[in-house]
A and B are shown apart, each in its own frame.
Chain A
């Protein structure tokens, strides 16, 4: 690997860099059901592209990037087509997928594949969680990294105080931007600057840190919780079975806190959008944010605005949209989908081969692959506030699903109204379905479930 520069500090933008995308596996991301029953979450289309495609486009803009490595525990075949397509889309960006045979945790996975990552002698690595939606300001992070002569840079964003405790919280020095303290999902309020799940590490810092964490784990089992007189006995993971779990090392819980103690660890605070893609419903705000970004950067992928197209709207070239249908804002129409005359689609994702019949109305919803929405039907979710990081809302004192989701091959009858529901695959809805009127569970089971 002669083309790779020798590792030496302060050698400018040419510094060898790799990117790792943590894609997880089929046993993770269950909150993305029912959509992840049919497509692995990283490959789910938002704004016309798989979730990880948005990561890739950001990585491709980093000048010194050598390679992208996806790490996860999906079967290799899962990403085969994606990698093929990405290779033609990003010809100068070698992409490979490395499969963990058991879940090793975000840091454990990195460490397990350290030889592959270090091949070609990169000086630093970006690590991206695939389940975030943001503008990925990687070059800005790299600049801070250089400016501060950092060993680690984390991407942070401000959220409301009550949302903050659901995330990793960062306490930083306002002037130096050095990370002083990091705690994952604290019980009490610590800071409203949170971890976005995007990092830039010096290879010299991250791998030794993980190694130390592994050693510490083997020497001294991790405390489940702080010992008190009540749980002293049960607070140590000591038995044989738990031994295995010791191999699971997570960046958030096991590494970041230590980095904050001893290292050159800085936070780059983004003012751009940031959202987690955890639940299936969160694909709708993610879709909206990526579409707005594409609209602001005048992407030619988007449909041309017109009286019946309120931007931003993505229409796949193979979709058929009747000229009298009205779409947008924040709508993605997938391949071969059919939108009938006088239909209305707003703040929604319509997936491949789905059909929306004439005069139907689809708002704040996801219409699954091959699903059919009948004439004059109304499929409706409830918008969540832009500052909200949750996809459930409280209606009549009951927490309900905000985004309506039709899984694969669902059918909504003519004139039927579906509101705030999640429909599992192959469900036929012939009558009104809504949580609002009955307060009953809003999960509608299909005739059969695919695995």
Chain B
């Protein structure tokens, strides 16, 4: 089987992290974001994965090389020289996607969920039409494009309504599809095309598009606030399904569960950690540290008595003693936060040293 992942750009929404690392390589729950998807695809027998990118992917090629053998997949990079929208990259990768007649998966790279690829493939096969899009239920459909089904049909899509004023349904496009190779013939070459606004409506008109309900959580983690929320959802899911990947709640310092700690990390005395905390490779945590709802990326260090909540601590950053970080603070690579400093919603660019309080959400250049 084959799959295409729409990676796109460097990920400006996830700055300052993406100033140092392309977004697909930023660790989400201690694993590069894109690897969550590649692993899930490999698990259902996908052998060819196309990453559609619009920047030179050298670092990614290097990092992902080692996973090719490990997972038994071939990773292709498909580079757009000009923006092609969300459908154009499919046409660009036609050679690989259409190398046989079997349907292929398409994924947006920013999504975290319990990837339902096996069930999706079975469902797609069962209805026999051209395409299936995964949909997820939302509480406020008026903010999204909503899927409306044909009367008396559970899955065949009748139309899409963008930001509905009146309630027409509560299922939205979750950014994952399974498509037959025939869809590629609907896309023009070298023209920027939107899959959501051009390709899908065309398939809908032919009655060939179905929806597939996603079970469990779904989150677009393309920006820091959602990255943190997505981490909470992901860890909660692990707690139910793969609790062995989390630190046991009986551990003395764990508070409220959902704590993932890389085995190379060091934790000091009298800490209180959790809920919803991810601690990366070679991270060092001092004594009396309080962590909640945060991700500490590899090589970072948190000194004694610091307090961190709703924060992403970037690679190799250092947080001083009695410092307090909160309200979606994001530290880039190699940032230093001085002792006793308070940072409220600061977005701190790489290699900065913060010596005065950041009282209001702001970007520290």
Contact status B342-A380, CB under 8 Å: yes
> Chain A interface (Cβ within 8 Å of chain B)?
326, 341-344, 346, 358-359, 361, 363, 376, 378, 380, 395-396, 415, 417, 419, 436-437
Does A342 lie within 8 Å of B340, measured CB to CB? no
B327 to chain A, nearest CB (A): 9
Residues of A within 8 A of B340 (CB): 344, 346, 361, 363
Q: Chain B: how many interface residues by the 8 Å CB criterion?
A: 17
With known contacts A359-B290, A361-B340, A376-B307, A342–B270 Cβ distance under 8 A: yes
B residues lining the A interface (CB < 8 Å): 270, 272, 287-288, 290, 304-305, 307, 321-322, 324, 326, 340, 342, 344, 359-360
Supply 21 A–B pairs (Cβ within 8 Å), ascending by A: A342-B270, A342-B288, A342-B304, A342-B305, A343-B305, A344-B340, A346-B340, A358-B270, A358-B288, A359-B305, A359-B307, A361-B324, A361-B340, A363-B340, A376-B272, A376-B305, A396-B360, A415-B290, A417-B342, A436-B359, A437-B360
Q: Please give me the residue from chain B that is nearest to A346 by CB atom.
A: B340
Identify the interface centre among B290, B321, B322, B360: most chain A CB within 10 Å of its CB: B322
Which of chain B's residues have a CB closer than 8 A to the CB of A378?
307, 322, 324, 342
CB contact under 8 A between A344 and B360, given known A358-B270, A359-B290, A415-B290:
no
Say how far B261's CB is from chain A's closest CB, in angstroms. Answer: 20
- Shortest distance from the beta carbon of B341 to any chain A beta carbon, whole Å: 10
- Residues on A with C-beta less than 8 A from B324 are 361, 378, 417
A359 / chain B contacts, CB cutoff of 8 Å: 270, 288, 290, 305, 307, 322
19 more contacts with CB within 8 A, not counting A342-B270, A361-B324, A363-B340, are A341-B270, A341-B288, A342-B288, A342-B304, A342-B305, A343-B305, A359-B288, A359-B305, A361-B305, A376-B290, A376-B305, A378-B307, A378-B322, A378-B324, A380-B342, A396-B360, A436-B359, A436-B360, A437-B360
Provide the bound-state CA to CA distance between A415 and B272, in Å.
11
**Closest Cβ of chain B: how far from A340's Cβ, in Å?**
10
Q: Which residues of B contact A380 (CB under 8 A)?
A: 342
Q: How far is the CA of A341 from the CA of B271 in the complex (A)?
A: 12
Question: Total A-B pairs in contact (CB under 8 Å)?
Answer: 50
Beta-carbon contact of B305 and A344 below 8 Å: yes
Separation in Å of the A392 CB from the closest CB of chain B? 16
Residues of B contacting A346 in the complex (Cβ-Cβ under 8 angstroms): 340
Q: What's the minimum C-beta distance from A327 to chain B, rounded to whole angstroms?
A: 12
A-B pairs, top 3 by smallest CB distance, nearest first, are A342-B288, A359-B288, A361-B322
Q: Which of chain B's residues has its CB closest to A325's CB?
A: B305
Task: Find chain B residues with CB under 8 A from A417 CB.
Answer: 324, 326, 342
Question: How far is A341 from B322 in the complex, measured between Cα atoms in Å?
Answer: 13
B208 vs chain A, min Cβ distance (A): 52
A344 to B304, CA, bound (A): 11
Please, how many angstroms separate the alpha-carbon atoms of A69 and B359 in the complex? Answer: 48
Residues of chain B within 8 A (CB-CB) of A419 are 342, 359
Q: Give the shortest distance, in Å, between B311 (CB) and chain A (any CB).
A: 14
Among B270, B307, B321, the residue within 8 A (CB) of A415 is B307
In Å, the complex CA distance between A351 and B29 comes to: 45
User: Nearest chain A CB to B329's CB is how many angstroms away?
Assistant: 13
Let me know if B342 and A395 touch, CB within 8 A: no
B89 shortest CB reach to chain A, Å: 43
- Complex CA gap A395/B357 in Å reads 12
Could you say which residues of chain A place their CB within 8 Å of the CB of B305? 342-344, 359, 361, 376
B residues near A343, Cβ cutoff 8 Å: 305
How distant is B269 from chain A, measured CB to nearest CB, in Å?
A: 10
Taking a contact as CB atoms under 8 Å apart, the answer to whether B307 and A437 are in contact is: no
Please indicate the chain A residues that have their CB under 8 angstroms from the CB of B307 in the complex.
359, 376, 378, 415
Contacting residues, chain A, for B359 (C-beta < 8 A) = 395, 419, 436
Select the residue from B272, B287, B305 with max chain A CB neighbours within 10 A: B305
A343 to B340 Cα, complex, angstroms? 11
* A363 contacts across to B, CB distance below 8 A: 340
Complex: A137 Cα to B287 Cα, angstroms = 47
Q: Distance (Å) between the CB of A68 and the closest chain B CB?
A: 42
The distance in angstroms between the C-alpha atoms of A396 and B304, with both chains bound, is: 31
Chain A nearest CB: distance from B243 CB in Å? 26
Task: Name the residue on A nearest B361 (C-beta).
Answer: A437
Query: Which residues of chain A are near B290, meaning CB under 8 Å?
Result: 359, 376, 415
Given A378-B342, A436-B360, A344 and B321 contact (CB-CB distance below 8 Å): yes
Task: Name the distance in Å between A436's Cβ and chain B's nearest Cβ.
Answer: 5
The chain B residue sitting closest to A344, CB to CB, is B322
* Complex interface: chain B residues within 8 A of A342 (CB): 270, 287-288, 304-305
Cα A428 to Cα B342 in complex, Å, equals 22
Q: How close is A243's CB to chain B, nearest CB, in angstroms? A: 52
